[in-house]
Chain A
Amino acid sequence: MKIILNNNPETVDVDQISITELLRRKNYSFKMLIVKINGKLVKKDEYEASFIKDGDDVMVLHLISGG
């Protein structure tokens, strides 16, 4: 399937993938994240049960300390 990940087209070799699995595959190792699928927030405790499907627009924002 084809998805958009942080504004870049990506091809994933499965029909759907959980957020947890996508983060693992992309080596997104930051602990603090904000994830949106098609503009809608997915809370941290929903990563395991939320699936990304063909054509989805996924945004992963890494949060870092400082301010």
Chain B
Amino acid sequence: MTFEEIKLRLQKKTVGIAGAGGLGSNCAVALVRVGIGTIVIADFDVVSEGNLNRQYYFFDQIGKPKVNAIKENIQRINPMANVITWDLKLDPQNLNRIFRNCDVVVEAFDNADQKEMLIETILTAYPEKPLIVGLGMAGWGMNDTIHVRKIDNMYICGDEVSEIHNELPPIAPRVGIVANIQANVVLEILLKD
């Protein structure tokens, strides 16, 4: 497939991203660069200085709602990209509505309890919908521990063991690797047929 053909196919696709932090912001940027037609992204947070160690934002965006900042950054890459933003905290009710029409959903939350809530909700409401989960990416190095594991229609991306704590923060390289692996799985699914 040429890049033109890839773009043509992806133009008709909609990807939902739950969270616009380290995983979500980087994954969104990778997807928009290859021509995904519509990105639906939800987050309730604002950009802070501490986010700049891994998230796709800039110093002059500190204080802005993340979904507004990511839309701005996406449309600087491609002004034609369609970005639907939701500045809210996702819960089982709004989540089903917001991601209903998405071809795939990317789980890009930070906290384990939020990840659990999203996976449980999507697997209940839309068990057939491909769900790409980011799991285990704190620290640095250990490139060869990062993998993709498929469980039915769910794809687990990460090392599944490195949980964040003070001595093992989430930082740009490994978070970016997992975000891009998630984007790569999205392409694998959307370009399959």
Contact = CB atoms under 8 A, between A and B. Distances in A.
Interface of A: 31-34, 36, 39, 41, 43-44, 59, 61-67
A67 B120 contact: no
12 contacts: A33-B116, A34-B123, A41-B120, A44-B116, A59-B151, A61-B151, A64-B135, A64-B162, A65-B163, A66-B158, A66-B162, A67-B137
Given A59-B151, A67-B23, A32 B115 contact: yes
Contacts of B24: 67
B63 interface: no
B113 to A, nearest CB: 6
A32 B120 contact: no
Interface in B101-146: 108-113, 115-116, 119-120, 123-124, 127, 134-138
B84 interface: no
B120 A43 contact: yes
A15 to B, nearest CB: 27
Given A44-B120, A65-B115, A66-B110, 7 more contacts: A32-B113, A61-B151, A63-B119, A65-B163, A66-B170, A67-B23, A67-B175
B151 A63 contact: no
Contact of A66 (B124, B156, B164): B164
Contacts of A31: 112-113
Interface residues of B, number: 34
A62 B136 CA distance: 10
Given A32-B112, A34-B119, A36-B152, A64 B160 contact: yes
B127 to A, nearest CB: 7
Contacts of A61: 119, 135, 151, 156
Contacts of B162: 64, 66
A2 to B, nearest CB: 21
Given A36-B151, A41-B127, A63 B115 contact: yes
A65 B43 CA distance: 16
A64 B160 CA distance: 7
B161 interface: yes
B19 interface: yes
B43 to A, nearest CB: 11
A63 B135 contact: yes
B21 interface: yes
A32 B109 CA distance: 14
A64 B178 CA distance: 14
